[in-house]
Amino acid sequence: MKTILRTSPMFLILVAALGAVADAPRVARPLLRTLEKGLDERISRLWPDNPVALTGAARGVYLEGYGVVFTTEINTASEGISLMHTSLTPQEKDKVHRQKIDRVPELKKALKEALVESAAALDAVPLDEQIVIEADLDRYGWEAAGGYPAEILLQSTRRKLLEVKQAKGAGMDLAIRTTEQ
């Protein structure tokens, strides 16, 4: 009987299913989706005068052995083009560009806070794995390069982020590595 059971198709399907469960990602997709939406909402609330700050919804993925990576696309200032205002003067373009430069520190602070908050929710992620947020900053076609980064990458281990959370934000800048390109 045992020999028949071990070679039956049903037994093989059961073994395969159990193997698939064992290989399932540690971080469930619904949790990542919740954190994505939270990041989107945080960014959307940053600048009331810029309803299109979020140009690409956040996406998160868990990479076994590395950690969680979130990506997003952001436009820190709206150019103000509309049906009634179809082109920008050089002064208006300069104002938009200056506003984008001025908003980068506020954006980095908000992204760091989001990184710290996500660490508490990601309890399935081992303490020494990374949590990363990568933000692409959009530029208008008429904008000259320079003045602010095209990408901001923030990363830290879950352990360090939990320590920052426990310390109510103290040591955040030391715990989070920030790279701009």
Domain boundaries of the chain, sorted by first residue: 27-180
DSSP H or E segment with residue 60? strand 54-63
This prediction's pTM: 0.83
Number of helical H runs and strand E runs in the chain: 6, 5
144 DSSP 8-state letter: P
Is the Cα torsion angle 121, 124, 126, 129 positive or negative in sign? negative
DSSP H or E segment with residue 70? strand 67-74
Which of the residues in the chain have pLDDT under 50?
A: 1, 4-5, 7-22
The predicted-structure confidence for 138-180, as pLDDT tens digits, reads as follows 999 999 888 999 999 999 999 999 999 999 999 999 999 999 9
In the Cβ-directed half-sphere of 28, how many Cα atoms lie within 13 Å? Answer: 6
How far apart are alpha carbons 138 and 51 in whole angstroms? 14
